[in-house]
A = this chain, B = another copy of it.
């Protein structure tokens, strides 16, 4: 793609800057699947370094033939090692300016780590979660969407009730996507999800911990429906949350397919 920038004053023609006559504006144009180190604010440690997959887009008015792809990477490079939720609006403002765009869009997807103590032995270990921040700046209106995927244990209430002993259980992935008017920590969303599962996961479990999580899950059976409903009730009650969706995918231990449930919050409806 065109590799021009304001700095260039070379004789090479600027193909992208030419007129386009099709009268067709483009909603999003930019770069996708860039891997880049970032720093994320962390409630316990202050901040943590991780690796993000980054997408950056702008809108393109109908009259311009192309956008200037290299400028996205230049803005990213200028923020090198210091990209975080806090400065996303600033970064998006630079993209608007450098690409002469009305709207700028960024997605950051990355693994996020939390040190958790095993429930009985207290042995600490790092658990990994998938987090995505999506920031959109339209003119001077900024909107951030937070998405957190939390792995948990789900244990089937039906299997437990109809069986003389045991109950099938499995790893589930619960995803919460939300927009809020007041800052919400990734850690808060994770705790909300873990409270609504049959049991939370740990990196390290000693024998007494394994006994605990086994019995904890058996004592708290949850259908995929229960997980999303419990979360939806909690998110409805949280006044900081403006809009949300919750979904759970249970990788059934008795089938080769998943059970799935999805709720979109009705606050904005």
Contact = CB atoms under 8 A, between A and B. Distances in A.
B210 A73 contact: no
Which label, helix, strand, loop or mixed, suits the secondary structure of the A interface?
A: mixed
A87 B128 CA distance: 23
Nearest to A225: B66
B214 A168 contact: yes
A145 to B, nearest CB: 17
A198 B7 CA distance: 28
B74 A204 contact: yes
A99 interface: no
A6 to B, nearest CB: 11
A174 interface: no
A139 interface: no
Contact of A153 (B51, B208, B250, B254): B254
A3 B65 contact: no
Contacts of A111: 35, 51
Contacts of A267: none
Contacts of A184: none
Given A55-B260, A260-B30, A4 B254 contact: no
A249 B33 CA distance: 10
A29 B229 CA distance: 11
Contacts of A261: 26, 28-30, 60
Interface stretch (A88-96, A175-183, A215-223): A215-223
B171 A166 contact: no
A34 B47 CA distance: 21
B209 A3 contact: yes
A260 B29 contact: yes
B37 A113 contact: yes
Interface of A: 1-5, 7-8, 10, 12-16, 20, 22, 24-37, 48-51, 55, 57, 60, 65-67, 69-70, 73-74, 77, 80, 111, 113, 121, 123-128, 151, 153, 155-159, 161-171, 199, 201-211, 213-215, 217-218, 223-226, 228-230, 232-233, 249-264
9 contacts: A15-B158, A22-B229, A26-B228, A30-B259, A36-B113, A57-B262, A66-B158, A159-B210, A169-B169
